[in-house]
Structure 1
Amino acid sequence: MPARTLKFPELPPADRAAFGVSARILCGLVTESLARGIYLKLADGLDASGICVILLSDISSRPPPDVATPYTAKDILAIVPLHHVPVFKHDGTDLRGREIGLLDPMDMIPLVFKFDATDDGTQVNEHASLATAVLKTLAAPGWDLTAAPPLVPSRSPLPLWEAFGRDMKLKEEVVTDITAEFESSVLWQKYSFENPPLAPQFSSPSIDWEQSIVEGHPTHPMHKSRMFLPPMRNVLPGTYDLQHTNLRFIAVPRENLKITYDFETYIAPLVKAASARAGEQLVVPENFVAIPVHDLQVAHIQAKFPDAVIFPPIFQLPILGQQSIRSVIVPDAYHELSLKLGVGIKLTSAVRTISPASAYLGPRFSAQVVPALTMDRNIVTVARELASVVHSHPDGEIAKHCAAIIREAYENTSEERGERLIVCTSLVESGHAGEGGHIPAVIRVFELDTEEKRIAWLDKFIKMLFEAFLPPVLHNGVGFECHPQNCVARFDIKTKELLGFIIRDFGGLRVHRESLRASTGVELDFLEGHSIIAEDNDDVYERMYHTVMHNHLQQLIRVLGLHYSGVGWALVRKHLKAVIPAEHALYAAWLSPEKKTFPGKCFLRMRFQGMYRYHLHAPFPNLILYEGVDGA
């Protein structure tokens, strides 16, 4: 159901950005079981239904004490008012309130309280009445706040994070590094709120939808961070347009490259277009290979690859960045192709380069595995990677900075087929400039102005999503990373009816080799140590659960107002049961009533350990079984 009508005014961009990052941090701490979150109901008549009290890691790491041993203000990291009742743990043991198993930013009212010993009473607290109600609620047994400092709104996520990180006894350099990423996230989110893209229309080309993202990842704690790795110059928001920039060219001796398939043939149109634009021929030295690179990446090339010839800026082509920034279209040279480039920028928690393993796998997977998979090719199309190049430097952490992949680009030709292609992430976005920009795009563009319309639209979307991506899991042991950034929805350009999906990017695949071989006879060709290899089919199921349920569908269901009622998840169960045979292992893994939890991807735990290709998991509430909140 839609959120309550609130009295809270719209926050200015700086405060919205600070809250956006704070919310994702706190949700990550609670959902990953790094911090205990306790739900307490507030009195009727307030704008909040209840509060989430988030405890520090030291107290959270121990079993809850008896109520005779009360929590004090020193044990509390933050208190967040909530719109609605969150998803609880099925096995919580704290007698003070129900323990929260999954907390989402959309559960939250845009306000975070903390106890602040440095407050001298001069801070204006426009939420004093709500703070008073919170303190009254915490006067119950099991709490002792008699000596507590003032409860005031938190204006920044950084002190919250630093307090938690040091309480958890993380190394100081880890706390400092992650603080910088959160600071970057706030900075870039503020700029996005201050300079929102125009609200895309159904008639807008695919690239406009790609570039319409206001917030992006709904739960990643570093959702807007942009860390420009030295020697790349630091870029401040507004000083460089990451979505409209230039393609530069270098040349590297062929003997120093690992080339997969006919890379040079695919690059020839780029060289030709750059030469035409410059008015002179871009001459590639004999026994060298031309490689396109992102404008910002030239600094890394200069520093890391002394064998590279860097062509002057006169030889450049305009490029349009898709949502990931490193995937680009080249309007002057490519119509049916696009490029994926290695760029030394850390977005979220991953450096957006291309590893030698990914450059090796993508074209081979496209040519050898994709044709053999069990898929309904009327509703799902795989954007194949046709060729690649990566430097042969013995250190893969250096080699990954000089790499490129040629990929099919169905978005560029969709109108010729009578289709509108829309990247799924953009459907849940709001906060755009222009008329209706405050309404989520999926509701505005498809005119879903009643619950009945939203249910009917979601029903078809879920059905087709499962029919597209579950057969390779069921039959071949192959899970595509179909989170909404990698999924592009295909709609009839006249009727707006959903026709199917394009799936792109193979970096997050999960493949159980034995199941693939047994079902297709294909032996996966990959470099040893590649992160896509699944130890068993349960490993494939975990990746699919995270990308499809926790990431893709959860956000869509929430935006459509069908989460708290449980209606959206009832549709999920209905269509899973229609696609998954009852005797299949996936049915038991996802749909068994005993599966109260399911391994979820832990962004914060991974970041603490410097991981991004390999995942860490913790038990999250199984949303597939979620039936809603009574009285929601």
Structure 2
Amino acid sequence: MHRPPTAEAEVAEELAAVRPALLPRYTAELPGARAAVLTRLWRALVHEPLPWITAREPGAHGLTLRLADGRTLRGPHADPYATSAYVTGVRLDRERYDDPARLMRDLAVPHAPAFAVELDFSVSSLALSRAGAEHPKEWPERDWQWEQRVVDGHPFHPNCRARPGFSVAEQLAYAPEHRPVVELGTVPVPARECLVAGDWPDELRDGGTVLLPVHPWQAAHVLQRSCAPWQPTHPLMSLRTLALPGGRHVKTALSARLTSSVRDISEYSVRSAMPLSALAEELAARTGGLLHITRTLSAATAHSPDLAALLRESPEVYAAPGERVLPVAALATTTLPASPAWLAAFTRLALTVGLRLLDLGVALEAHGQNLLVVLADDGTPRRLVYRDLADMRISPARLARHGIAPPALAGRLVTDDETALRRKLFGSLVAGALATAAGSGPALAAALRAALPELPATADLTALRTDPLPVKALTLMRLSPDHPGDIWTALPHPCVSPVPEPEPEPG
């Protein structure tokens, strides 16, 4: 079938110019990348409250979705917790689609053209990432090496690898899966024009000037200025956070939309950085050694979300000799989750920690990027490490109930709403990190059934046992540009409503 010019062709043309040896592998990876993005999109079409889908009808060999304009869309049963790319095609009326961007364009629903462009870039960038990835059998020694192994990006977002604004050369130069060394620069700002939190290091001061670390992409595309060279770094999964020599991590502003969000650093985040770090450290101490939280060391901003940075500990500092610490997202690059006993033990550990902190008054954004696991030499999960405090939620009422003084903060981080608190934790930890580790609804259900009976009884645990699992409606959010903030939906609880095994696409 003839394909109109797309991001796939644009990337191929650029790749031929900057890295021609990679072009055959990129071309070979395109069908799998289309299936991976189409699987994520089909999950959204089946499970999100999209207003132009009027009915979902299960059949013996799959699902039929009825559209408001009278058309039908047919595909396989959709496991909302599956991470494999099992959807290779769907049918809109009589026509078969294997390209998620073309499907979205032809659905012709509100805001579909812009989203189709994002899907197009997601496919091409994913194929590029897979083409450049290496898959060594030996386990990495450094934390940033684990992050290089996570190639496919967000496990459930159709924009799993969309990097708009990044050329092929820039993806190769800055994305962790391509294993680059990124030279960070600094921009001097008069100290009187900066907000500084914590102990900003002497190496980033010059008399009365604060030196703010800047990502080279940000310098070129947003600040449009040159930067003084500072440090060679290794990029982590989030792209804008990088590992410095000696072990610290630096989080930089990166004003590009990756998956759903623009990755800048607000003044609110800088102001709240140190109080959040102190609170998190106090709460982690109440988990009996099961949780460490990487401390924020310092933060600074030139009163602009485009020019700011945070310095924090590396998770490596919490690994004893013989132990390894890795993001939960990287577990899929090992054989550990394939063992039901290991998955149950990890699930028990993660829920024990997450529910304990929720009871104390903090809901973690514990998805597979923020949550890390400390493994013993034999692979046994020992402890957890949590990083990136900017998206957790704090309940002053719950904290006070446990005799903990709430930090002097207001704004989006603070809420006593139980629904909001449970959404934050359950949506990120259970429907995110644990589902990613399990890889399917049946595997997640087995792990939950093994872990839940051993957890301390709380009202939050009761809600987790029986209620549908809350998740962000990621595709609906991209198709709702006029709706600020998150849109939530619910997935069937794997222990209550068994998910059908996906089958091949209908004929």
From 27, 37, 50, the counterpart of 2:56? 37
Inter-CA distance 340–631: structure 2 relative to 1 (3 Å threshold): closer
- How big is the shift at 1:153? 3.2
| AA of the residue aligned to 1:515 | R
| AA of the residue aligned to 2:208 | N
Per-residue CA deviation, residues 454-491 of structure 1 (Å, 9 max, x unaligned), is: 111112111111222221112x2211111111111111
Per-residue CA deviation, residues 5-32 of structure 1 (Å, 9 max, x unaligned), is: xxxxxx9411111222222122112211
From 476, 479, 486, the counterpart of 1:605? 476
- The alignment status of 1:622 with 2:493, answered yes or no, reads yes
Aligned counterparts of 1:176 and 1:352: Cα–Cα separation in 2: 23
Per-residue CA deviation, residues 80-117 of structure 1 (Å, 9 max, x unaligned), is: 245xxx46xxxxxxxxxxxxxx48564834233334xx
Please name the residue that 2:15 is paired with. none
Mapped contact 2:150–2:237 kept (Cα < 8 A): yes
- How big is the shift at 1:402? 0.7
Aligned counterparts of 1:613 and 1:522: Cα–Cα separation in 2: 31
Mapped contact 1:366–1:384 kept (Cα < 8 A): yes
Give TM-score, length-normalised by structure 1: 0.69
From 67, 71, 75, the counterpart of 2:71? 75
Structure with the higher fraction of residues in helix conformation: 2
Mapped contact 1:31–1:103 kept (Cα < 8 A): no
Please name the residue that 2:350 is paired with. 465
Inter-CA distance 496–256: structure 2 relative to 1 (3 Å threshold): same
Mapped contact 2:164–2:256 kept (Cα < 8 A): yes
Aligned counterparts of 1:192 and 1:107: Cα–Cα separation in 2: 16
Inter-CA distance 602–200: structure 2 relative to 1 (3 Å threshold): farther
Please name the residue that 1:129 is paired with. none
Inter-CA distance 293–191: structure 2 relative to 1 (3 Å threshold): same
Aligned counterparts of 1:600 and 1:325: Cα–Cα separation in 2: 24
- The alignment status of 1:496 with 2:379, answered yes or no, reads yes
Please name the residue that 2:452 is paired with. 576
Aligned counterparts of 1:477 and 1:611: Cα–Cα separation in 2: 32
Unaligned runs of 5+ in 2: 1-26
- The alignment status of 1:547 with 2:449, answered yes or no, reads no
Mapped contact 2:281–2:293 kept (Cα < 8 A): yes
State how 1:317-396 maps to structure 2 within 5 Å: 317-331=231-245, 334-335=246-247, 337-372=248-283, 375-392=286-303
Please name the residue that 1:401 is paired with. 306
From 184, 202, 206, the counterpart of 2:143? 206
Inter-CA distance 367–162: structure 2 relative to 1 (3 Å threshold): same
Q: Percent identity?
A: 20
Per-residue CA deviation, residues 50-80 of structure 1 (Å, 9 max, x unaligned), is: 2222333x26xxxxxxxxxxxxxx511x322
Mapped contact 1:510–1:533 kept (Cα < 8 A): yes
Please name the residue that 1:138 is paired with. none
Please name the residue that 1:159 is paired with. 102
Per-residue CA deviation, residues 483-542 of structure 1 (Å, 9 max, x unaligned), is: 11111111123x22221111111122021122123323312233x432x22241232111
Mapped contact 2:233–2:242 kept (Cα < 8 A): yes
Inter-CA distance 631–12: structure 2 relative to 1 (3 Å threshold): closer
Please name the residue that 2:230 is paired with. 316
Mapped contact 1:251–1:310 kept (Cα < 8 A): no
Mapped contact 2:354–2:425 kept (Cα < 8 A): no
Aligned residues: 470
- How big is the shift at 1:179? 2.3
Please name the residue that 2:196 is paired with. 259
Give TM-score, length-normalised by structure 2: 0.84
Per-residue CA deviation, residues 291-334 of structure 1 (Å, 9 max, x unaligned), is: 1111111135635xxxxx9544xx23211001111111112xx3
Q: Secondary structure at the match of 2:238?
A: coil
Please name the residue that 2:464 is paired with. 590
- How big is the shift at 1:188? 0.4
- How big is the shift at 1:401? 0.8
- The alignment status of 1:482 with 2:366, answered yes or no, reads yes
From 65, 70, 84, the counterpart of 1:54? 65
- The alignment status of 1:521 with 2:404, answered yes or no, reads yes
| AA of the residue aligned to 1:571 | A
- How big is the shift at 1:256? 1.4
Aligned counterparts of 1:238 and 1:410: Cα–Cα separation in 2: 25
Mapped contact 1:264–1:289 kept (Cα < 8 A): no
- How big is the shift at 1:210? 0.4
Please name the residue that 1:537 is paired with. 418
Mapped contact 2:184–2:232 kept (Cα < 8 A): yes
Please name the residue that 1:299 is paired with. 220
Larger Rg: 1
| AA of the residue aligned to 1:468 | V
Please name the residue that 1:508 is paired with. 391
Q: Secondary structure at the match of 2:49?
A: coil
Mapped contact 2:83–2:436 kept (Cα < 8 A): no
Mapped contact 2:355–2:461 kept (Cα < 8 A): no
Mapped contact 1:349–1:612 kept (Cα < 8 A): no
State how 1:51-200 maps to structure 2 within 5 Å: 51-56=62-67, 58=68, 74-76=70-72, 78-82=73-77, 86=78, 102=80, 104=82, 106=84, 108-115=86-93, 151-164=94-107, 166-167=108-109, 170=110, 174-200=111-137
Mapped contact 2:370–2:386 kept (Cα < 8 A): yes
Aligned counterparts of 1:155 and 1:192: Cα–Cα separation in 2: 20
Inter-CA distance 518–218: structure 2 relative to 1 (3 Å threshold): same
- How big is the shift at 1:156? 1.7
Inter-CA distance 618–184: structure 2 relative to 1 (3 Å threshold): same
Q: Secondary structure at the match of 2:201?
A: helix
Mapped contact 2:296–2:310 kept (Cα < 8 A): yes
Inter-CA distance 211–512: structure 2 relative to 1 (3 Å threshold): same
- How big is the shift at 1:628? 5.8
Per-residue CA deviation, residues 567-594 of structure 1 (Å, 9 max, x unaligned), is: 641431442332231xx321332224xx
- How big is the shift at 1:203? 4.7
